[in-house]
Amino acid sequence: MDAAILLKAIHTRNEKILRQKKASRESFNENNGFLGMGGLFSMLIGIWAAYLSWECNTKHNMNIFLKLLWALGAYIFGFIYLIYYFFFRYDSCVGSTGGPTIQLYSASPNVGPAPLR
């Protein structure tokens, strides 16, 4: 009789452990998909930043070692580099190649206030 109770307790305990492991695996699979998408997004941002860095530094005739160093830094700090690029390097990289530029004033510099009569 004692052996039957002991076997029942072991069986119940094993079932409980198996249920916990299954729940843990399901939770990991759900989280792994989310982390996988975040990792993919981060990798794409890094590749874009490295590409922009390489292209801009090529236009400025930077040597290959420094271009590689900047591209690696841009890949690692992707989003931060993109902010830096668009605030500080965009005009010198895109504007110098005839790309789209922003015109701040539409009036001619010779136009002044209307004369008083």
The confidence score (pLDDT) of residue 75 equals 96
Closest to 51 in 3D by CA, of 93, 102, 96, 98: 93
The confidence score (pLDDT) of residue 100 equals 45
Taking 70 as the pLDDT cut, the residues of the chain under it are 1, 6-7, 11, 23-35, 95-117
Q: How many C-beta atoms lie closer than 10 Å to residue 93's C-beta?
A: 19
The confidence score (pLDDT) of residue 114 equals 62
The confidence score (pLDDT) of residue 99 equals 46
